[in-house]
Every structure is written in C-alpha cells, then in structure tokens.
Amino acid sequence: MRGTTFLSLSVAAAALVHVPVAAQSLPDTAPAIPRDDPEYEIDPTRIGPFDVTVGVRASTQYDSNLYALPDNEIDDVVFELSPFVTAAIDNGKSRFEVGTQSVVRRHADQTAEDSEAARFFGDFTWTPVEGESLGFGAQFERAIEDRGDPEARNVLAPGPREIDILSGNAHYRRERGRILLDLRADVAKYDARSVVDDNRDFSSYSGSATVGFQVAGSVFVTATGFANRRDFRLETDLAGLERNSTTWGGRAGLSFAPGGLVEGAISAGVFRFEPDESTFDDRTGLSLAANVTYRPQRRTALTLSGSSGDVATFRNGATGRTDTTIRLTWQQEIRHNLYSSLSAGYRRSRFRGTGIEQETAIVRGELEFLVSRHLSVVADASYGDRQSDLLSEEFDRFRGGIGLRLRY
C-alpha cells in the first residue's frame, strides 16, 4: 500500500507538515474548521516575488515511558523546539512553494535520546483551468524513529534510529463535469544512517489511478488501481532469501468534493502481495484508504481516517507485514479564540510467518488558546497501550505537556 511505510514511523519529524502561505489563521489544533475571524488571521511577508511565513513551536513534555519498555519504565522531561519557514509564488494558475522545518529535541536526563530532525521540500502546481491541476513535488527528510514504533530499536544505549528519506511525486487531477480522474506516481528512498541498519535501506516505487463518476452533487463513485515495488539495498536476508516484492490491487469507494457537509474519500478493496522469493506464498488481503471529514455545524468537524495493507518489515523470520489503522478525531471551536481536538486511534500489525501480532490503542487531546494573531498557548495529553504476542513488546505510556506557537 503506497505510503504506509513512511507513515508508520512515529517520528519527531511527524510535525513537519508544510502549510499554505496564503492568508492564514494561527491555530493548527483544529485545521478542519474553517477560519473566518480577521482578528486572528495573518498575512505572509512579501520578499521580492515570494510570500514568506516564518514561525516556531516550543514545548515541554513529560513522557512516562520514554523507551516504551514493558516494565521498569524510565520517565523523562522532553524539550522541543521547531522553527519553520515557507515561501511561495502564486499567480492564480501556478503555484511554487518551498520550505524547511526542523525539530530539535532535548531530554532532561536521558541525553542519549537527544535528536535533530529536519525536512526540506518543494512543490509546484499548475492549474490551467478550474477543476484541473498538474503538480510535482520533492523533499528530503531526516526522520527520528519513535521508540514506540512496531519495529523500533530495542537497544537503549545508541539513541533513537535516524532515517534519511528522499522522495518525489507527480500528480494529475481532473474534476470537471461528471468525470473525476486522479493519477499519482511516487518514488522514495529510505536510508537508515547506522551501518548496523543496512538491512532497513530500500527504495519504493508506487503509482495509482482513480476514475470517478458523479452520482449526486459533490459525490463521486470511484474505482482505484494501485501498484508498489519495493527494492531493498540488501536483496537477500541472512538465510539467503529474496526480500524484494511487488504489491498491487484495487479499491472501490466514494469521493466527496470540498465545500460540502462531507468531504474527502473512502475506498475499500483487495491487495495482492507477490514476493520475489519463490518459497514464499503470494497473499491477498484487505486494502483500505479513508480520510473523510463531516461538518455538522460551522464550529465542529469529525474526521475518520484509516488504512489497511502491506508494509515493509525488517523482523527476522517474517515473510511480510500487514498494518490496519483507524482514527476518529473531533475538532471543535469552543470560542473564537479557543480550539480543541480529541482523537482515538487503533493500529494492528501482523507479522506473517511468525505468528506475532501487535495491537496499539491511543487517545489524545489538545487545547489551544489564541493570545493574539501571532501567538497561541497549547496544552496536550495522550495515553497509549500496546498488546503483543511477545511480552517484551508490550508497553503503556502517558505523555503530556504545554507549549507556545509563534507565526509571522
């Protein structure tokens, strides 16, 4: 399934998401709620032909189980600083945007876990007519693996795993009349920086095509075909077995155009996993892709997101891995300067050929108070619990903290 390998990384750089630099409001606790209060909107700074937005996020957080251990947990206080800058040129029919963001993390006691994540990106989108667009993007990211990931490093001393990710994409979308056409191609190279992690280095090549037919208003019935090729740097494992594989499949579903009561897309179908190793069996499984937002009123948004499919695995003895994730998020504008977000999520990871299964549940809440159009105060808390067929992989963890967000 395209993209799930990267998305399974709960990295410190997960916050490295670029934001359009058109006039925007400060809070990002509840991004699905439309902003219409000019008191809290900011305009980017004009520098030559570019509209530039800069900002920084600073936070202090308590982590009750820093290393995601099943017992004898080690807690710590984590300090995080995340500056960012974006610049864009937009003439209506074309838009070019570049940006960078870093996440510097420091620990009060466990300084071996200190890390620096970074992301650099560039995007170009051409919209010759309304309802039709062509785009290209590229990015480089230094990601930091979270200790709670399904296959995270379980040795404490070296610190968290660092992974360099170089990726690019091209996409075309046409939504005119009653026909929807969406084409996308992606390529990514994953490079774990430590030499002991050479078995985790691989390249991924994927593509998808979606065709839709309008059945009512903003609703399209869709059919999607997709394929992914995964080539590992070390093509065989220690037993001499091939590691490369191809996954393909199809889904059917619904797509909802932006601007209505419901927007987003949801589809379900099957995937076919075909390993290069002749002694491994091909496998068919459920493919799911969902990201749908429902707005019952102007100040409320409910988002359902989920996925299911084959992802890369590095576990000894595993012939494959299937992840299923689902998350429900409730975003609310409590007052004109107070926003909240509450989410509940679930992930199941199955390691084929080993009989091992992990199940993780997490709840998270966040509250953001806007002091001014440039400054907000944030408080957040989360609790996660993982169950596994291996007792050494079970853990629970509480995280909570406060922070400031600045944007100009």
Q: Where residue 40 falls among pLDDT bands split at 50, 70, 90?
A: confident
Helix, strand or coil, per DSSP, at residue 40: helix
Which run of H or of E encompasses 381? strand 375-388
Residues 197, 161: Cα–Cα separation, whole Å: 9
HSE (side-chain half, CA atoms, 13 Å) at 267: 28
Residues sharing a CB contact under 8 Å with residue 337, sequence separation 6 or more, in sequence order: 40, 369, 370
- Confidence at residue 122, expressed as pLDDT on a 0 to 100 scale: 98
Residues 300-307 have a mean pLDDT of: 97
* Domains with residue ranges and CATH for the chain: 4-407 (2.40.160)
- Confidence at residue 34, expressed as pLDDT on a 0 to 100 scale: 82
| Residue 49 CB coordination number (10 Å) | 11
- Confidence at residue 317, expressed as pLDDT on a 0 to 100 scale: 84
The more confident residue out of 329 and 15 is 329
For tokens 């009123």, name the residue: 297
- Confidence at residue 239, expressed as pLDDT on a 0 to 100 scale: 86
Closest CA to 397 of 182, 152, 56, 219: 152
Looking at the predicted structure, is the pLDDT value of residue 255 above 50?
Answer: yes
User: What is the average pLDDT score of the chain?
Assistant: 91
180, 214 in Cβ contact below 8 A? yes
Looking at the predicted structure, is the pLDDT value of residue 2 above 80?
Answer: no
Q: Where are the beta strands (DSSP E) in 22-68?
A: 24-25, 41-42, 45-47, 50-63
Residues 128, 121: Cα–Cα separation, whole Å: 23
Digit-coded pLDDT (tens) for 256-284:
998 889 999 999 999 999 999 999 999 99
Looking at the predicted structure, is the pLDDT value of residue 245 above 80?
Answer: yes
For tokens 């400060």, name the residue: 26
- Confidence at residue 18, expressed as pLDDT on a 0 to 100 scale: 31
Looking at the predicted structure, is the pLDDT value of residue 225 above 50?
Answer: yes
Digit-coded pLDDT (tens) for 44-97:
899 999 999 999 999 999 999 999 999 999 999 999 999 999 999 999 899 999
Looking at the predicted structure, is the pLDDT value of residue 20 above 90?
Answer: no
pTM: 0.90
Looking at the predicted structure, is the pLDDT value of residue 144 above 90?
Answer: yes
Amino acid at 379: A
Q: Where residue 361 falls among pLDDT bands split at 50, 70, 90?
A: very high
- Confidence at residue 204, expressed as pLDDT on a 0 to 100 scale: 98
Q: Where residue 22 falls among pLDDT bands split at 50, 70, 90?
A: very low
Residues 153-178 have a mean pLDDT of: 93
- Confidence at residue 92, expressed as pLDDT on a 0 to 100 scale: 87
Closest CA to 312 of 245, 251, 358, 235: 245
Q: Where residue 154 falls among pLDDT bands split at 50, 70, 90?
A: confident
- Confidence at residue 1, expressed as pLDDT on a 0 to 100 scale: 36
Residues 354-360 have a mean pLDDT of: 95
Residues 286, 271: Cα–Cα separation, whole Å: 6
Residues 294-298 have a mean pLDDT of: 94
For tokens 């903003």, name the residue: 218
Which run of H or of E encompasses 5? helix 4-7
**How many residues does the structure list for the chain?**
408
Residues 151-166 have a mean pLDDT of: 92
Compute φ and ψ for 111, nearest 5 degrees. Answer: -70, -15
- Confidence at residue 21, expressed as pLDDT on a 0 to 100 scale: 33
- Confidence at residue 217, expressed as pLDDT on a 0 to 100 scale: 85
